[in-house]
Structures are given as structure tokens and as C-alpha cells.
Amino acid sequence: MLPKAKLWLALTVAALSLLSTNLQAAWELNMPRGVTQTSREIYDLHMQIIWWCVAIGVVVFGVMLWSTIKYRKSKGAVPANFHESTKVEIIWTIIPFVILILMAVPATQVLTEAYDASESDLDIQITGYQWRWEYRYLRENADEEEVSFFSNLATSREEINNQLPKQENYLLEVDNALVIPVNKKVRFLITSNDVIHAWWVPDFAVKKDAIPGFINEAWTVVEEPGIYRGQCAELCGIDHGFMPVVVHALPQDEYDAWYAGRQEQARAAREQSNNVVTMSDSLAMGEEIYNRTCIACHQAGGAGLAPAFPALAGSSVVNGDLTANIQLVMNGVPGTAMASYARMLSPVELAAIVTYIRNSFGNSTGDLVQPSEVNALLEAQ
Ligand SMILES: [Cu+2]
């Protein structure tokens, strides 16, 4: 064998063995088959079309290769000189036309099924935010307690900054996963609060743009209980890679128990917001919220990070009018990174965080905000 041919053989063998080792998952080239009927149908359609393309490629390039070799100049071939052959033109119109029809039929069948979100058993509104998802379970009647929550990235900053080793589900872990029952048709109503995001779970073959002012529909029926992961699939700003999707599919009875627990939590939170809070409780809760939610921008000790993020220590807003301060945290500052926390934090938490910042970092207004004050402001909006 020629040395060059040997080299190629060695390279090919190396490449193939690489593909067949445990690196395989990372090198996976094809789309996943998924865990729903729709995802499997989409996968099969995709494979069917791929093989059509392979066959067309083999025939077209085969004919080309064969004719360039067979009719090469060195063999004395003389080029034919003709224009317009009606026969050839009819053939090269009819064959692709037939192939396209053969492809369009199964594609249309799968598409119409994938887009038929009617007659769902459960509706969930999904809202994209920079950079988290909100899930809201739509109720059958307004008397029921509403279940809605935010789902934030749970991977620690230390892992992201290489200060800790990266764990298995790096950047694919959230604090509150979306929970759905198995074998039920779940309809997703997908929208956005700010820029365009896209909600994507490859195993469900669901990927839909979340567009402010529009509601897009998607649906799924998951057959097997399990944890399924996905990501935002539309470049939506600096933390686009930090808003994963995690879905827990549970058997119906476990789902019902989870849902009832969530409703109970919501009821408790609502009742709590009528309670009177004490200074020490508020400061403790506020500190916890600050370290979880605000510290990334306003920094430890409320020092801020000039010029982008103002200091809260000595801030005129934080030391000024109380109502204006509450409203700023509730509504954010449109057009800046300061988000609206009216929905992300409960009234109790909003009261606590404002109490905390007005009595920390050297600020000493002495103000103790009651959840009822926040409630009144929320209702006035
Ligand atoms: Cu996004």
C-alpha cells in the first residue's frame, strides 16, 4: 500500500474509533429521536428526506463522475454541440416535481399534526424574560388558587467562572422546573416580556419563538416520566446561555400532589401578605433576597459597579421618598438592566427587600415596609 493511502486509512480508523467511544454523545451529529410521538415522527421524516437527498446526490454526482471519466478529452471525446432538447427539459422538470410531491406529502402530514394544539388537557403560559422563564398554569375557574413561578438558572457563578468544577448538568439546571403530567396533552402558550426568546426542549421536538405582544402555541404529550432539558434558542442578550428549560414529567397522581402543594404555597403567600412583619424578620429576609437577586449588579455592601450599576449605599432613591423607592423596585427602570420585580417577588418579599436596602449599607431611614403597603401599590397599578 502507498504510504499516503496508509496515512488516510489510519486517520479514518482513528476518526471512527473516536466516534464510537464515550465521546459519542458530544459528537452526536443527528437530531435526537425524542420522547414524544411528534418528535419521533419528525425524526423519521427527517431521516426519510435525508435518504432522498443521499440518493439524489449519489445519482447526480455518479452521472457527473462517470461522464467526465468516460468522455474525457484524452480519450478523444468530442463535445456535442446542441441547444434546447425538449426531451431532456421535460425529464429534468418532471423527475424533481415528482420527488418534491413525494417529500411534501409526509411533511405536510407531520406538520399539520405538530401544529394542532387543539383539545388540550392542560394549558401553561410560558413567558420569556431576560433571563429566566415564567410558567403560569391556566386555571379552569378564577376561584382556584393560581400557580405561577419563575424558573431561574441554578448553576452557581463559581462553576461558570471556573472556580468550581463543572457538574453534570452545567447550565442546564434551574431552581423551579416546569412540572407536567405524563400522557396528557399539554398546550404551551408562549410569549415574552421583553425581547424575542425561544422555548426549546429537543426531546419534545418543541421549539417556539417567544415574541413580545404575540402568543405562539405549541403542545406535547410526554409518555415517560423523566427530566427533560432544553434552552433558550434565540439570541436574547448577554445571559442568553443562562436561561435553560427543565421539565419534570410526572405520573398523574404525583403531578396532582405537586400542583396541590403549589396551590397551598400560593394561598399561604397571599395570606402572609396581610400579616404585619417585624423589623428583624424583614431584614433577615431582605438580606437573603439581596444576596440572591440584587447582588450581581448592585454588588456586596450595595457598593454598585460604576458606571453601569448605581450604588445603593447613600443612593438618593434609597434614602428618599419611600413610595418612590418601592415603585422603582416594583416597576424597574424601563430601558435599563433594572428589571421590574413586581411579579418576580411576592409582596412580602418586596416589602422585605425595600426595608433591607433602606436600613443597610450605611442607609438608616428606619423605614419598615409592610406587605400591605406593597399590596396597595400593586393594586393601584
Ligand atoms: Cu432568551
Summarised one tens digit per residue, pLDDT across range 127-185 is 999 889 999 999 888 788 889 999 999 888 888 888 888 888 899 999 899 999 999 99
Cα of 189 to ligand 1 centre, how many Å?
Answer: 16
CB 372 within 8 A of CB 328: no
Lowest-confidence segment of 78-92, 212-226, 351-365 by average pLDDT: 78-92
Cα of 222 to ligand 1 centre, how many Å?
Answer: 24
Banded pLDDT at 22 (limits 50, 70, 90): very low
Please check the confidence at residue 17 and state whether its pLDDT lies above 70. no
Please check the confidence at residue 67 and state whether its pLDDT lies above 90. yes
- What pLDDT, in 10s, does the model give residues 334-352? 888 898 898 889 899 999 9
Cα of 18 to ligand 1 centre, how many Å?
Answer: 34
Cα of 299 to ligand 1 centre, how many Å?
Answer: 24
Cα of 235 to ligand 1 centre, how many Å?
Answer: 6
Cα of 131 to ligand 1 centre, how many Å?
Answer: 6
What is the pTM for the complete model shown?
0.76
pLDDT above 70 coverage of the chain, percent: 93
CATH T-level fold of 24-114? Helix Hairpins (1.10.287)
Cα of 39 to ligand 1 centre, how many Å?
Answer: 23
Q: Which residues surround the ion ligand 1 when the cut-off is CB under 5 Å?
A: 197, 232, 236, 243
Domain range 122-271, its CATH number among 2.60.40.420, 2.40.160.210, 3.40.50.300, 3.20.20.70: 2.60.40.420
CATH T-level fold of 276-380? Cytochrome Bc1 Complex; Chain D, domain 2 (1.10.760)
- What pLDDT, in 10s, does the model give residues 277-297? 999 999 999 999 999 889 989
What's the chain's average pLDDT? 90
Q: Which 3-state string (H, E, C) describes the chain?
A: CCHHHHHHHHHHHHHHHHHHCCCHHHHCCCCCCCCCHHHHHHHHHHHHHHHHHHHHHHHHHHHHHHHHHHCCHHHCCCCCCCCCCHHHHHHHHHHHHHHHHHHHHHHHHHHHHHCCCCCCCEEEEEEEECCEEEEEECCCCCCCCCEEEEECECCCHHHHCCCCCCCCCCCCCECCCEEEECCCCEEEEEEECCCCEEEEEHHHCEEEEECECCCEEEEECCCCCEEEEEEECCCCCCCHHHCCEEEEEECHHHHHHHHHHHHHHHHHHHHHCCCCCCHHHHHHHHHHHHHHHHHHHHCHHHCCECCCECCCCCCCCCCCCHHHHHHHHHHCCCCCCCCCCCCCCCHHHHHHHHHHHHCCCCCCCCCCCCHHHHHHHHHHC
- What pLDDT, in 10s, does the model give residues 229-242? 999 999 998 889 99
Domain residue ranges in the chain: 24-114, 122-271, 276-380
For residue 188, which of 202, 213, 207 has the smallest C-alpha distance? 207
What's the pLDDT at 269?
81
